[in-house]
């Protein structure tokens, strides 16, 4: 789809927000697209990104969802997003303190921890309980779910 096609499709919906997600949206958006999207729709714009590409000015809400292997990215120029309004982390048992050292973290950044969803029910329940325990032990985290998984949306 062209930028114009995307903007026309967005205008069909009454929602107040547009969320750029899927794949890695920071690889294809630019300042002109963000400007046109704001201008044509009047909607607020959010992005969910892994943080490894810069994002243009004009985005109203930034969610950084770092992927596994983040340990190698702390203090590394691979994290290029300058601010995160929220960070969403999938809990696979990794060290969690490192996420508070990401360069995009600000005083008011919301921190969400999600249990890793797997098809096997027993493993999924174990993952969920581990994440709940971790959230209860560290009040900097808020429990979150990959709700699309529970709804069966790929």
pLDDT tens-place string over residues 104-126:
999 999 999 999 999 999 999 99
State the number of CA atoms in the 13 A half-sphere of 144 facing the CB: 17
CA dist., res. 47 & res. 55, Å (int): 9
In a domain, 94, yes or no: yes
**Would the pLDDT of 43 be above 70?**
yes
CATH code of the domain in which 132 resides: 3.20.20.70
Same domain, residue pair 91 and 23: no
User: Is residue 117 one of the residues assigned to a domain?
Assistant: yes
Helices marked H in the chain: 3-10, 31-41, 121-137, 147-150
Does residue 144 surpass a pLDDT of 60?
yes
Do residues 73 and 121 both lie within one domain? yes
What does the pLDDT look like over 16-40, one tens digit per residue? 999 999 889 999 999 999 999 999 9
At 79, list the tokens.
């994290």
Residue 150 pLDDT greater than 60, yes or no: yes
Whether residue 58 is contained in a domain is answered as no
CB neighbour class for 115 (10 Å; exposed up to 12, middle 13-18, buried from 19): buried
pLDDT tier, 68 (very low <50, low <70, confident <90, very high otherwise) = low
pLDDT at 153: 86
CA atoms within 13 A on the CB side of 60: 12
Q: Residue 69 has what pLDDT?
A: 59
Give the pLDDT band of residue 71 (cuts 50, 70, 90). low
Report if residue 42 sits inside a domain.
yes
Q: What one-character DSSP code corresponds to residue 117?
A: P
Are 29 and 74 contained in the same domain? no
* pLDDT value of position 72: 55
Parent domain of 74: 65-154
User: Is the domain of 75 the same as that of 143?
Assistant: yes
Residues forming beta bridges with residue 110, ordered by sequence position? 86
The total of structural domains in the chain comes to 2
Q: Is the pLDDT of residue 70 over 90?
A: no
Q: Are residues 88 and 151 in the same domain?
A: yes
């Amino acid at each position: 789809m062209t930028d114009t096609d995307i903007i026309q499709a967005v205008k069909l919906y009454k929602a107040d927000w547009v969320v750029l997600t899927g794949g890695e949206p920071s690889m294809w958006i630019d300042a002109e697209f963000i400007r046109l999207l704001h201008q044509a729709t009047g909607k607020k714009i959010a992005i969910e990104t892994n943080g490894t590409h810069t994002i243009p000015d004009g985005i109203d809400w930034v969610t950084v969802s770092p992927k596994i292997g983040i340990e190698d990215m702390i203090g590394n120029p691979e994290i290029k997003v300058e601010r995160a309004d929220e960070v969403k982390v999938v809990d696979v048992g990794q060290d969690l303190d490192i996420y508070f050292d990401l360069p995009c973290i600000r005083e008011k950044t919301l921190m969400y921890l999600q249990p890793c969803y797997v098809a096997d029910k027993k493993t999924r329940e174990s993952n969920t309980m581990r994440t709940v325990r971790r959230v209860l032990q560290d009040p900097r985290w808020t429990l979150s779910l990959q709700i699309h998984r529970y709804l069966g949306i790929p």
